[in-house]
Every structure is written in structure tokens, then in C-alpha cells.
Structure 1
């Protein structure tokens, strides 16, 4: 049985995990230019309606509902590396093409829109193919006790990629011109692609899944998807991901307006509180990574505890914001937002760690499609979250005519979603709780 596997190691070492974190950083570096920077350019420099970039960004989330298809392809293809490299290449090319459409809007609006739609479709597919396959590779080749820390490393490196790209590209974009935007985006894409190729080179070939040599996926896409959905814990986790990420993202577009309208903060000050929130997120992620590495080997259930208390902490922080809407400007807003970020960071990275655990809990050949199903749920909830948050504020303000009450209601609803997510998390069995006998018969692979 060993044969061609005798020169490989069972599982990823820390250096290999760091290298895969560089791939996630590359993904983040391209995404920040195509969602944040390009969004601003379309609204300010091109004077387009904010709805246009909003719909384009929503499109890149919406197309990621196809993640199960890409995940299944990497399960059957025998090489996740090809999907990761190909996805990043498509993402880099599509991001550059999206930037290039800015040259067309003034001369041919409908051609520019058509090309922008195609570009953002490519962005979504590239993220889905590369991101799903990357997480599937991590899930199958990382020892269980290392998964919480691996999730922390990968996600913190993605944030680092976003921050570094934003700072460096921001400096190179001035004095601004559309041609300079295209050049910066193209260079960032080329660097991200080369970094991906170097980072992932030989990682997959030099390791095998922690459970042994990889099992080939012999089920078709529909059968594999049905088998995944037949697994009680995979199904529950999909619902958990959708609800928790909906709660997580709903405050994205309303938090800074909240600080300005009710606390009288300037644009610079609201940007600072956003940075404070992200500082809390990083601290929460780091805590999960450190404690996970210390205790997960002996107590794998700790990851479930992080998810539960992260969701509860997020709900408490949102209840505080709901109360602060009625007590502004006396409420300690900065401390409240830091607490929200910290709890968000704990729950988010713990959920990724649990995702990696559950992905390898099936038949040994379904990590890709499982990650695809959960990635699709996350992408759809992210796409809906920011939009629904703004809609909910507008509707409650129209019905009540009371801005503080409107924010209080919406933050309260978000807290309720986090409480619901915490309750669902308690029902999910982690691999330490589950037994192979619990797996549905649909996962059985027929013998050759």
C-alpha cells in the first residue's frame, strides 16, 4: 500500500502551514483591491451610483454558491494544487480586467458594465476554486490538535495580506489615474500569483492526509453533494455557518454610520473605531490559536467551546450596542466595539478550525465538496448581511421615525442571530465525539 507514499509525511508541519497561509494572504491582497478600492473609484472618481459597485461585489459573492462544484472537482482531480494555482491566476486576471473597465465607463457605459460583470464573475470563481481547495488541503493534511492554530495562522495572514496591500497600493495609487490603478492591480495580481506558486510548490506532494494515503473520490457531483447533506453534523454546520456569518456581516455597513449619527464621530474617528474592532478580531484569533495549540490535542472539544462563547460574547456586545443607541453619547462605545471584535475573532477562527475538523470526518475523499458547501453558505450570508443591515435600518427608520430606536432594534436582531448560532453549535458533534459508525451509508465507497 505504501509504495509511492514512502517518501511523504503524514500531515503538514508548521512551516508548510505558514506557506499555505501565504496563499491565503495572496487571495486577500487581490480581493481588497477589487472590492474596496475599485468600489471607491466607481463611486467617487467615476460618479456612478453606489448600487453599481454594490451589485458587482454582490455578484462575486453570489457566484461562490458554485463552491461545492469546485470542491468536488478538487476531490476527484487528484491534485488540489492545480485548483489553487488556477484559481489564483483567474482571480489575478479578473481583478486586473475589472480595473481596466474603469477606462471604458466614460466612453461606452454598457460595454464597461458587461465587461465588469464578466470580470467579477471571474473574481468569484477564482476565489471559490482556490479558497475551497486550499481549505480542503489544510483540512485533510493537518493533525486535529493543530487545526485551531492552523486556522488562526491562515486567517491572520489573510488579514496581513489585506493590510499590507492596502498600505502599499495606497501609496502607489497617488497621484491617481485610471492607468495607474490598472498597473497597480496588475502588479499586485502578478506578485500574488508568483507568491502562490512558490508557497504551494511541493507541499501537497510531500505530505499525505493524516488518516493515510488519499482516497479517490468516485461519486459523481450530485451523489457526493447528497452524501454530504445526509451527514447530520455537516448539515447542521452549514446552517450554523449561514446564521453566524449573517450575524457577523450585518453590522459591516452600519457600524460607522451609527458612530457618526448617534455619537457625533467624524469620518476619521469612525475609521479609527473600525480599526479598533479589527484589533479586537486579531486578538481573539490569536487567543484561539495559542490556547488551541496548548489544549486541543488532549481536549479537542475546546474548539466547540470557543465557538459557543465567541457567539455568546458577540451577542452580549451587540446587546451593549443596542443599549448604547438609547444612551448615546454616554456609552463607552470604543470598549464595546473592541469587545465585539474580540468575540467575533474568537468565534470566526474557531469556526474555521471546526470546519477543518468536520471536513475530514467523512469518507476521506470529500473534504473539497464539504468545504465548498460551507464556503457557499458563508459567501451567500456575507453577500446578504451587509445589504440586509442597511435595508433593516432604512425600514425601521421609515416605520418609527426614530434613528436611535432603529439601530437598537437592528443590533438586537443581530444579537438574536448569534444566540441562535450558539444554540446550533451545541448540537454539532466534533470529530472527537463522532464515531465512524455514525456516518451515513451514502459515504461508503464501493470496492474496485
Structure 2
């Protein structure tokens, strides 16, 4: 177990941190990010395929591009570490995201006249979308990690991600109402107004937060060096390296089923498009409940149960693996299988492990000798972005190969779900090692007292 350390020293080095209202305000910034991204990943994706009659691979590659560009997250995190203001990176990245999202919508005009011109404009816009998400999102998480008390970080992660989901839902509804009757001009107008509105909201929400006390005020903590030194310092930390591997594997498993779950329900369970969309809603409902349970438990019991977050990570990964295993089995019993309950279980376990992992990232961000929370969040964010970019592609490729090799849809889907289950179980094994064997001298005050992630 982690050593609690000297109580007086802990009290001197760790402040009370952000209030719940301040945490909620930062959550509104994450909701703003989700509001713009959903327009490019969902609405614009549909417009390209349906209204513009482009091959589905085009928007797929564009979305993959913005995930790929987010490999630059460590750079933006480092910049916010050595700069005087994370707030400027948050708002600057969000402004770039709003402008580039509008530019992506405007590329629809070019596609009408020139495929090459439209594609070139879309490529530039989506690349800048990735830069904006990386710069704003990484700096936001780093700010939360430095200003939030350790015992509140799991709940802060829950609030932030639930608000992001709420932002996506609200934007989808409002956008849907205002895009009728559809035109490219209306799409550009709605996207631009959404960007302006969320940028103003975020500027108000983040105002003054950075001036609040930092929760880690260790006098001997060094300032971050140059970019290469900072990357090397993070990668030499066994905890940071282990968490990076965990995030990559678990998020790869998490995202691989994104593009194949609804086709699975349609092909094997004869569900209509409307029914599969509702099934997706069941899954997201499970995610929402799982996140809420972790947030409530973290807020109520983290002081008395130091191992709570680690338990949620491991349980969520194992539970996700079991739910995917059940889906693999269901292929042999379709359509006589409680698919909705199975999907809800998958969402519940996904939500529990995901938000607990984000809370763990926030805890471990302050664990180094140097004040490089932004770099650490950047490394972990890059691992997550790469996984999401690869996950959807990997799922569709594996399914295509499976159908070609077996000539049976059920068997092909079962193979993909089984592979995902194995990835989740591997992730659980890695998660069990997080916090084990960490040299005591390198622990941050976040580990003293009631830590959120204990050792074995």
C-alpha cells in the first residue's frame, strides 16, 4: 500500500483545491469541445455520405486524420507547462477548433464543384481540428489536475465527461432542429454560431480558475525542461509508462466496436436502422450510469477506500471483457438473446473504467519530480487519440477479413468481439500493476493521505 506520509507535511503541500462549482465550470469547457466535435464527426459525416454522395471512406479518413494529428498533444501540453497561462491554450485551441470546424462545413460548397478542391480544404480543416482539440483538451485536463484536490479528481472527471456527453446531446438536438430544411449555407451558419457560442461560454467558465491555488506546492519540485527532456522524464517514470500502455490497449478495445455494433444488430438480430440507433442510446445510457456511479462513489468513499478507483478500473475492464464475450456468444443464439441488456452492461462497464482511468490520469499527472502535468496529459491523450483512430478502422478491417475467411457473418462478428474481450482482459492485468512498486521518494502529495490509486 502507499505510505501515507507525514500529515503536517501533506497539509502544507496540498491545498483544498477547486470548489464543486469551479469543477462544473471547467466541465462546461469540455462540453464545448464535444459540441463542436460532434458536428464534424457525426453531422458532417452524414452530409458527405448522403447529400454529397461521397464514398464512406472519405469522412472516415478525415475523422482518422484529426485523431492522428492529436499525436501532437505532448507538444501542446509541454507548451502549457512552460508558459504562463494554460487558459490561453485552452481558449486558443477552442477558437481554432471553432474556426476549423466551420471551414470543414464550408468544404461542402467546394465538393459540389470540385472533388479535389473540396478534399484539399477538408484535409486542412480536419488537421486543424485535431490541433485545436489537442491544444485545448490537453491544457484543460492539466489545469484540472493541478487545481483539483486528489480526493475530488475522480468525481471531477465524472462531472467533466458527463457534461461533455450532455453537450453532444444538446448540440445534436439543437443542430437537428436548425438544419431543416437542409442547405450547405445553413450547415455553415449553424456550425459557426455554435462555435461562437461555446467559445464565449468557455471564456466565461474558465475566467479566474487559473489564479486559484495549486494543490501541489512542493517546494523542491523542479520546473520542466525543454520538450525532449520533458518527454524523456515522463517516459522514464514506470507509472507514467505503464498508464500509457494501459490507455492505449483499453481505449483500442473500447473503440473497436464503435462502427460494427449497429451492423451486428441489423444483420444478426434483424433490427431496423431506427432500432439500432435506439440500441446505441441504450449503450450510452449505460455509459452515463457507469460514470455517475464512479463519480458518486469517488466523492463519498475515496478517503475511506484508497483503492476505489483502481477497483473500478479493473472491474470495468473485466466487466467490459465479459460483456463482449457474451456478445460473441450471442452470435450463435441470435435473435434469441437479451441484446439490450447485454449492450447496457457493456456501456455500464465501459463508463466505469473510462472515467476511473481519467481520474487516475489526473492523480498521476502530478507524480513527477518536475511540474510537467501538461506533458503527462499530452502523452496519455496522444495514446488515447491513436487508439481511437485505429479502433474503428481495426474493427471494420477485422470484420471484413473474418467474413471473407469464414463466409459467415455470425462467426466474423464473434471473432472481433472475442478479440476485443481479450484486449480488455489484458488491460485489466496491466491496471492491476498501476501503483505497485513505485519508489516512495518520487510520489507526489497526491499519493499521501488518501490516494485514489493504491498499490497492491
TM-score when scaled to structure 2?
0.92
Summarize the alignment of residues 289-308 of structure 1 with structure 2, pairs less than 5 Å apart: 289-308=295-314
Q: Is the 8 A contact 2:368 2:442 kept in 1?
A: no
How far the C-alpha of 1:434 sits from its partner, in A, is: 4.4
Question: CA deviation digits over 1:354-397, x for unaligned, max 9?
Answer: 01001111125110000000000000000000111011010011
Partner residue in 1 for 2:22:
16
Alignment partner of 1:158 out of 164, 184, 187: 164
**Following TM superposition, by how much is the alpha carbon of 1:299 offset from its aligned partner in structure 2, in angstroms?**
2.5
Alignment match, 1:226: 232
CA–CA distance in structure 2, aligned partners of residues 331 and 309 of structure 1:
24
- Confirm or deny that 1:437 pairs with 2:429: no
Q: Is the 8 A contact 2:320 2:424 kept in 1?
A: yes
Would the aligned equivalents of 2:74 and 2:379 in 1 still touch at CA under 8 Å?
Answer: yes
- Kept in 2: contact 1:69–1:372 (CA 8 A): yes
The structural deviation recorded for 1:437 is 1.6
The 8 Å contact of residues 317 and 336 in structure 1, kept in 2 or not, is answered as: yes
Equivalent residues of 2:71, 2:385 under 8 A apart: yes
Partner of 2:6: none
Alpha-carbon distance in 2 for matches of 1:420, 1:348:
15
Q: How many residues align?
A: 431
Instruction: Give the aligned partner of residue 189 of structure 1.
Output: 195
Q: Are the equivalent residues in 1 in contact too, given 2:32–2:198 (CA < 8 A)?
A: yes
Separation of aligned partners in 1, 2:70 and 2:323: 30
Cα distance in 2 for residues equivalent to 1:27 and 1:101: 21
**Alignment RMSD, CA only?**
1.6
**Does the aligned pair in 2 maintain the 1:10–1:210 contact within 8 Å?**
no
Q: Does structure 2 conserve the Cα–Cα contact (< 8 Å) formed by 1:283 and 1:342?
A: yes
Instruction: Name the CA distance, whole Å, in 2 between partners of 1:325 and 1:424.
Output: 29
Q: Which residue of 2 aligns with 1:57?
A: 63
Match of 2:155 in 1: 149
Which residue number corresponds to residue 431 of structure 2?
425
Gaps of 5+ in 1: 1-8, 441-448
Among 331, 335, 347, which residue is 1:329 paired with? Answer: 335
Pair 1:246 & 2:252 matched: yes
1:74 maps to 2:110: no
Shift of 1:294: 1.0
Matched, 1:132 2:138: yes
Deviations along 1:403-445, whole A, 9 cap, x unmatched?
1111111100000000000000011107xx84542469xxxxx
CA distance in 1, matches of 2:356, 2:368: 20
Retained in 2: the 8 A contact 1:142–1:210? no
Change (3 A) 1:281 1:364: same
Match of 1:177 in 2: 183
* Aligned counterpart, 1:275: 281
1:34 has 2:40 as partner: yes
State whether residues 266 and 276 of structure 2, in contact with CA within 8 Å, keep that contact through their aligned partners in structure 1.
Answer: yes
Q: CA deviation at 1:206?
A: 2.7
Q: What are the ranges of 5 or more consecutive residues in structure 2 without an aligned counterpart?
A: 1-14, 445-456
Write out aligned runs for 1:188-227 (5 A): 188-211=194-217, 217-227=223-233
Match of 1:342 in 2: 348
Measured in 1, the distance between the counterparts of 2:211 and 2:220 equals 11
More displaced stretch, 100-109 vs 83-92: 100-109
Q: CA offset at residue 211 of structure 1?
A: 3.4
State the alpha-carbon separation in 2 of the partners of residues 414 and 110 from structure 1.
37
Contact 1:208/1:214 (8 A) holds in 2: no
Q: Distance in 2 between matches of 1:19 and 1:214?
A: 31
**1:100 aligned to 2:106?**
yes
Aligned to 2:294: 288
Separation (CA, whole Å) in 2 of partners of 1:428 and 1:146: 19
Aligned-partner Cα distance in 1 for 2:111–2:16:
52
Task: Name the SS for the 1:299 alignment partner.
Answer: coil
Match of residue 120 from structure 1: 126
Report the more deviating stretch, 314-323 or 99-108: 99-108
Contact map agreement 1:231 1:439 (CA 8 A) in 2: no
Is the Cα–Cα contact under 8 Å of residues 360 and 367 in structure 1 kept in the other structure?
Answer: yes
